[in-house]
């Protein structure tokens, strides 16, 4: 069992739907991350929150909207996604947003866009 919890584990949605992915950690970490991972590829960084503030946005399309309500929670709001957005979405956390800290990953949400 991981200490970073992601829900749901699987999500199937149409291109016109709106849904949200949720991530929660109780390790007292102050940095949280969203990654997208396609099959047989490494994780691609999407967003970084440090002390509840967005510190990195890797030029992600606006159909992905992150939110960090508090230091333990991270959401990713999805709207009007495309079939190529089908992937494993990973949440991770680290001690703080400084470089050099190991990241701890959740189990991921496997997203399929119809």
Partner 1 sequence: QKEVEQNSGPLSVPEGAIASLNCTYSDRGSQSFFWYRQYSGKSPELIMFIYSNGDKEDGRFTAQLNKASQYVSLLIRDSQPSDSATYLCAVNRNTNAGKSTFGDGTTLTVKP
Residues of this chain that bind partner 1 (CB under 8 A): 2, 31, 33, 41-43, 45, 48, 50, 55-56, 88, 90, 94, 96-108
CB of 56 to partner 1, least distance (A): 5
CB of 50 to partner 1, least distance (A): 6
Decide whether 16 or 42 has the Cβ nearer to partner 1. Answer: 42
Query: In whole angstroms, what is the distance from residue 73 CA to residue 68 CA?
Result: 6
Alpha helix stretches (DSSP H) within 10-86: none
Decide whether 10 or 16 has the Cβ nearer to partner 1. Answer: 10
CB of 78 to partner 1, least distance (A): 19
Instruction: Dig out the tokens for 22 from the structure.
Output: 């949720």
For the residues of 70-99, what is the DSSP string, one character each? ETTEEEEEEES--GGG-EEEEEEEESSSST
């Amino acid at each position: 069992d991981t200490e970073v919890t992601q829900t749901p584990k699987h999500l199937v949605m149409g291109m016109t739907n709106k849904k949200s992915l949720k991530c929660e950690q109780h390790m007292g970490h102050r940095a949280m991350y969203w990654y997208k991972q396609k099959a047989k590829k490494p994780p691609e960084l999407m967003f970084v929150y440090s002390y509840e503030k967005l510190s990195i946005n890797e030029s992600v399309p606006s159909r992905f909207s992150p939110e960090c309500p508090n230091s333990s929670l991270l959401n990713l709001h999805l709207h009007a996604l495309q079939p190529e957005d089908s992937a494993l979405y990973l949440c991770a956390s680290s001690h703080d947003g400084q470089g050099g800290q190991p990241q701890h990953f959740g189990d991921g949400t496997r997203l399929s866009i119809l």
